Amino acid sequence: MAEVEEQVPHAVQQVVAERQQCAAERGLADAQWMLGTMYLRGAPGLSKDPSLAEALLRRAAERGNPGAAFQLGVALLSGIDGITRDERDGLVWVTRAAARGQKEAQELLKSARDSLPAGSDLKPPPPR
């Protein structure tokens, strides 16, 4: 019985991944975000793939998904999970997420601003 219980979550996660893949291919930002997260962390039926994860998160963020923008921004700021660190791009995405109402992004920016010396301001850098 324990074997069946262990296989069910794995099988369910594989079905979820397949459905998210189909929806992501149709351009649905929420599906791109979820699938990007799955590739970022690895999931049953999906190997970790930081490049694909970053591309999916970026597509979702470009389509206006604030959660994907925040997740992409944090990954770029910190260089976690195999994504190459890029503080400039990371700050842009966190700022966009905050502007779209993403609470964690707003809190992160507030905390960063509060830690700056008096008279300084945290602004995203101009595009390269």
Angle between helices 29-41 and 50-62 (to 10 degrees): 160
3-state secondary structure of 46: strand
Instruction: Note the pLDDT of residue 2.
Output: 43
Q: What is the mean pLDDT of residues 79-95?
A: 92
Q: What is the CATH code of the structural domain delimited by 2-114?
A: 1.25.40.10
Q: What is the pLDDT of residues 43-84, one digit of tens each?
A: 877 889 999 999 999 999 999 999 999 999 999 999 988 899
Q: What is the mean pLDDT of residues 6-18?
A: 67
For the chain, give the longest Cα–Cα distance: 64
Residues in CB range of 52: below 8 A, 6 or more apart? 36, 39
DSSP 81-96: TTPPP-HHHHHHHHHH
pTM: 0.79
